[in-house]
Structure 1
Amino acid sequence: MAKSLGLAIATAKCPCCREGNLFPVSPFSYRKLSATQKHCEVCGSNLIPEPGFYDGAMYISYAFSVALVITSLVSVTVLVEDPKLWMYMATVVVLNIILLPAMLRYSKTLYQYAAGKLKYRGD
């Protein structure tokens, strides 16, 4: 059964077969944060087409970080009557630490789907 594009991205699967994992560990794991599979274990596609390919994912990761900062600052402002500076800082730091693996890996996943030359082959 073929997975939809959205489900394949959400589960960090290979763009060609949408079955093999892009990462050796879960996208939410703190282990091997920068590790990416070299080849898909299902279809054998090359997931790292050139040295430094995933460097472009930094732009997506930066957008995730900016969105997280803006969301957390607005949330603290709305939820706390008289917020102090340390509340803003603590919220941003804690959320960045908690969401670091997901933001890093999903930025790579989105970059692979957007800029990678791999296209879905279907069944």
Structure 2
Amino acid sequence: MKTRSLGAAIAQGKCPQCREGNIFPTSLYSYQKLTVVNHHCDKCGANFNPEPDFYMGAMFVSYAFSVALVVTVLVALNVLMERPPFWMYVAVIVGTNVLLLPLLLRYSKILYLYGVGKLKYSPKTTSKK
């Protein structure tokens, strides 16, 4: 069986320990159950909730994503237009944040679990259940 790379596992929202099980019960692009995380990996049994309110720290990652998005939009508007009106800044920033909200929330939790969660990759764990 071919192993999934770290980047592919993060992009697809897979378990940090086995890189096969799903972190979320629904698709990454689903608006249903947007913030619900599985309690355990369905392939290796890894615990995705090591302590109560573990994912509260993911707010910092989400904040960093939002700041990066705002800065990118501001720079893009200034490069593409000579003097955009203030309402255009507000409309584009609010619109992009609303459109990308599911991805920002999901990936902030994924990156937080990979970075702070104490799950390390072990290809032998996929046979456990």
Which TM-score band (shorter chain)? Answer: over 0.9
Give ranges in structure 1 of 5+ residues lacking alignment.
Answer: none
Residue 70 of structure 1, CA deviation: 0.2
Note the 1:8-47 alignment, pairs <5 A: 8-47=9-48
Note the 1:42-53 alignment, pairs <5 A: 42-53=43-54
Aligned residues: 123
Residue 81 of structure 1, CA deviation: 2.5
Residue 97 (structure 1) aligns with: 98
Paired residue secondary structure (1:78): helix
Return the alpha-carbon distance in structure 2 between the equivalents of residues 58 and 77 of structure 1.
Answer: 28
Return the alpha-carbon distance in structure 2 between the equivalents of residues 28 and 72 of structure 1.
Answer: 22
Residue 82 of structure 1, CA deviation: 2.4
Instruction: Name the % identity.
Output: 59
Return the alpha-carbon distance in structure 1 between the equivalents of residues 96 and 120 of structure 2.
Answer: 34
Residue 5 (structure 1) aligns with: 6
| CA distances 1:20-55 after superposition (whole Å, capped 9, x unpaired) | 110111222211111001111111111111110011
Return the alpha-carbon distance in structure 2 between the equivalents of residues 62 and 27 of structure 1.
Answer: 19
**What is the Cα-based RMSD across aligned positions, in Å?**
0.9
Residue 77 of structure 1, CA deviation: 1.1
Give ranges in structure 2 of 5+ residues lacking alignment.
Answer: 125-129
Return the alpha-carbon distance in structure 2 between the equivalents of residues 66 and 82 of structure 1.
Answer: 22
TM-score (normalizing by structure 1): 0.96
Residue 127 (structure 2) aligns with: none
Return the alpha-carbon distance in structure 2 between the equivalents of residues 85 and 32 of structure 1.
Answer: 35
Return the alpha-carbon distance in structure 2 between the equivalents of residues 86 and 59 of structure 1.
Answer: 28
Residue 88 (structure 1) aligns with: 89
The aligned amino acid for 2:24 is F
